Amino acid sequence: MATNYKDFTDKKISSLFWQYALPAIIGTTVNTLYNIIDGIFIGHWIGREALSAAGLILPVMIIAAAIGLLVGVGSASRISIFLGQKAQDKAERIIGSSFVLTLVLSGITLSILLIFIDPLLYLVGASEVTHNYAKQFLQIFLPGSLFLTLSFNYANMMRACGYPLKAMLIILSTVIANIILAPIFIKVFDWGMRGAALATTLAMMLSFILVMIHFTSKKSQVRLRLKNLRLDKESIIGILSIGMSPFAMQVATSVVVIFINWQLNHYAPLSHISGDDAIAAFSNANRLITFFVMIVIGINQGMQPIIGYNYGAQNYARVKETFFYAIKVATIVTGVGFLLAMFIPNLLVSAFTAEQDMINLSSTALRYITLLFILIGFQMVATSFFQCIGMAKISIILSLSRQVLILLPTLYILPQFLGLDGVWLAPPVSDLLASVFAYLMLHWYFNSIKNRHGHVLTDPKQKIND
């Protein structure tokens, strides 16, 4: 189940890409099923108020998951580069430091969220009706999310170390566990939102146990060793410098969702729609959009070890070929998402509710938000590319351009002229402008490489020597 590292430099890019991307895609989309499964069970078995509450707590869940991206993606990128440089000892130091770093950062974050849970829920837009549902879920989910963070981190590192299939199987097994436990806890035991949270937490614990078994096994090529369980300064700097980009993106996403909730609460009543219903509709649409976004994230994770290894080995032609192949695949994925949202939105959102007025509102939100969704694949792969080659600052700028620098002002301005429709239209406007910015950054980067190292763009045997 392990990859021969020689494949990174010799194997055909398309074959190598799918060897890594397919398990990663399955892993990331399977993770999305946590949210989709909860939405289906909550919407049909608890009610629309609970469905709205599930949408409200999304920013809080994103913050908890952001630690996983900060440490996990940064660790995986550094490990790939070190393995490309034949520096296994440094890769193992990353594995040990990331465990301790996750415990510290997650412990601080989760403690703050739990202490300030009531004002936090009102901050994200909870009403008197939805507050109790949201609190019931978070009181169980937040402590258990530590296991989600650790398992997510080490699944990323498992792929970087050459075990993409094993990482996929571990994640798949935990989702199956969630599918089995959720209806038992919600419907049979009648535990409501607490049951949904408990099912997710137990599934995350299973994932954590399985990844730890792998990294402590003597059969693993790169292991978690007791001597490396410490905060190694060099390792932490390397992890955080690369992981800061996806972390910033997640935090920005959380801020944006909170602001969207505020805008929905303000502008929905002007269209004779309750704020809670508008938030539930956005949540339904966002779950479906996230499914396709997570496929692209899986594509990014699949290209990451290939680009990281070859960049570390100074094999630039393969870096370029992998990058452009990933853009093609990601654009196809987001194109499919666009077509489905345009032509069968009612069928898609009916998975979460049987109430026709909620289906109609959710369909409207889905169609508006995905108007330029086809561009997202390109923008996300471009952002991840700079992260893979260690250019963290550019990656962070590209991440924030769509989520904060463009989207937040758009969310503020458009509704003033278009009302509720302006809230729905803000994301596609942001998608367009952010994609143009990403194209300009890539154009600058490849031109600079061409001017300095034109020979390495086409010949895989040529390397960058400075």
Average pLDDT, the chain: 88
pLDDT at 62: 80
- Cα–Cα distance measured from residue 149 to residue 101, given in angstroms and rounded to the nearest whole number: 11
How open is the CA angle 77-80-85, to the nearest 5 degrees? Answer: 130
Contact (Cβ atoms closer than 8 angstroms) between residue 366 and residue 316: no
Collect the ranges in the chain with pLDDT lower than 70: 1-5, 31, 452-466
- Cα–Cα distance measured from residue 242 to residue 221, given in angstroms and rounded to the nearest whole number: 23
Residue type, 305: P
- Cα–Cα distance measured from residue 138 to residue 60, given in angstroms and rounded to the nearest whole number: 8
pLDDT at 352: 92
Residue type, 188: V
CA nearest 287: which of 22, 42, 27?
42
Cβ atoms within 10 A of the Cβ of 129, count? 13
Residue type, 221: Q
Residues in the chain: 466
Percent pLDDT > 90 in the chain is 51
pLDDT at 464: 44
How open is the CA angle 372-335-424, to the nearest 5 degrees? Answer: 30
Contact (Cβ atoms closer than 8 angstroms) between residue 124 and residue 59: yes
pLDDT at 457: 45
Contact (Cβ atoms closer than 8 angstroms) between residue 23 and residue 167: yes
- Cα–Cα distance measured from residue 299 to residue 303, given in angstroms and rounded to the nearest whole number: 6
Residue type, 344: I
- Cα–Cα distance measured from residue 195 to residue 183, given in angstroms and rounded to the nearest whole number: 8
What's the Cα-to-Cα distance from 318 to each of 186, 310, 313, 387, 456, rounded to whole Å? 49, 7, 10, 16, 9
Residue 393's contacts (CB-CB under 8 Å, 6 or more residues apart) are: none
- Cα–Cα distance measured from residue 431 to residue 256, given in angstroms and rounded to the nearest whole number: 14
3-state secondary structure of 148: helix
Residue type, 316: Y
pLDDT at 279: 94
As given in the structure block, the two tokens for residue 9 are 């430099």
What's the Cα-to-Cα distance from 394 to each of 64, 254, 348, 397, 401, rounded to whole Å? 24, 21, 36, 5, 10
Q: State the Rg of the chain over Cα.
A: 22
**Residue entry with tokens 């924030």:** 400
In this prediction the pTM is 0.80
DSSP 11: S
